[in-house]
Amino acid sequence: MYYPKLRDLREDADLTQDQLVKILGMHKTTYTNYAQGKREIPFALAIRLAQFYDVSLDYLAGLTDVPVPLPKKCKR
């Protein structure tokens, strides 16, 4: 699956690919393959990116143009 918003979100956060992959703790080639749709992004990483950028998974996947943030978890 291709995640068309990955580049836009990274650039909007003023991050280079090198900075982002360091934050994520992954190899740059691996991230580039996800961003270009050459490899399917693991669901756990998609969730992590959505949380990092404070957007919904639907927005991240390009299913909507509305970047509705994820609801905050309630502490019990």
Segment 14-55, tens digit of pLDDT: 999 999 999 999 999 999 999 888 999 999 999 999 999 999
Q: Looking at residue 3, what is its pLDDT?
A: 77
Give residue 54's domain range: 6-60
CB atoms within 10 A of CB 34: 21
Is the four-CA dihedral 41, 42, 44, 45 of positive or negative sign?
negative
Backbone angles phi, psi at 48, to 5 degrees: -60, -40
Q: Domains in the chain: how many in total?
A: 1
Q: Does the pLDDT at position 62 exceed 60?
A: yes
Is residue 19, in this structure, part of any structural domain at all?
yes
Residue 36 lies in a domain: yes
CATH number, domain of 39, equals 1.10.260.40
14 occurs within a structural domain: yes
Instruction: Answer yes or no: is pLDDT of 72 > 80.
Output: no
Residue 68 placed within a domain: no
Token pair 């994520």 is found at 24
The overall pTM is greater than 0.85: no
